[in-house]
Copies of this chain bind each other. A is one copy, B any other.
């Protein structure tokens, strides 16, 4: 159901909300249309950029149902199963696969203290219970441990994992996985995806299969262009495109750090941009995130204008 390896641009899809913080299904459908028109190669719902941490179980189910139905087989739909430990993750696995997700994306355990042996056991249990491929999600900023490259490679060799989404920002560790996959014929088809939207070109240069950039919500065509330019061998144009996107990414800092955290600022900016671009109806982020002020939204608009998107 998903390519082996999965390549190209697979955005972590924002979850549009109504003013009273319900999932805005029509806006979500329009966002998916917007992404597909941009040429993306897959959809990743219920990731961190999707505010998965803020969505209730009912809302999560509605998101994945909506995405699977709306994608209608035109694109693979990956779904996050983000929760603290294995038993809770397995409940999410049940929900998202019942809804028709083509793959699940799972972090290591968090909140609970954990250990590499327990992380491996966690993924083995998930894979045993899960009817679709399992992709590991390395997000040290949320999970507070780093997935060791050798754990990933060993689990790949066992057939437990079929891919990695690496949002650690550690390109040297990412390369260790890429090289490990290349050097082991039994790992053929394993997908190595970067979640670092500012170095997609560099990740491709070290051998990434694809990217999962949050900013691709705002400018999917830009990331698709970057991917195509790189694959066509025009690395300098790919770099120029990446740098345009880096400048656009500056929007994540519009929020006043005295008043809000980085999530409110970054996700608030993505949603404000989608609202300004006419894709979604309401820029609200989930509670307890703090909304951007009108002036902050105005600055988002300037970033869009600077990138030629408004």
A interface residues with partner B (beta carbon < 8 Å): 21, 48, 53-57, 59, 82, 84-88, 90-91, 109-115, 117-119, 121-122, 125, 141-144, 169-172, 175-176, 179, 196, 198-199, 201-202, 205-206, 235, 239, 243, 246-247, 257, 259-264, 286-290
Contact = CB atoms under 8 A, between A and B. Distances in A.
A206 B57 CA distance: 41
A112 B206 contact: no
Nearest to A110: B111
B56 A87 contact: yes
Nearest to A119: B288
Contacts of A144: 144
B91 A57 contact: yes
Copies of this protein in the assembly total 4
Nearest to A174: B199
Given A56-B88, A118-B290, A175-B198, A113 B263 contact: yes
B179 A288 contact: no
A88 B53 CA distance: 8
Given A87-B21, A87-B55, A246-B175, A143 B111 contact: yes
11 contacts: A53-B88, A85-B288, A87-B286, A110-B111, A114-B261, A122-B287, A125-B287, A172-B199, A175-B246, A201-B205, A206-B239
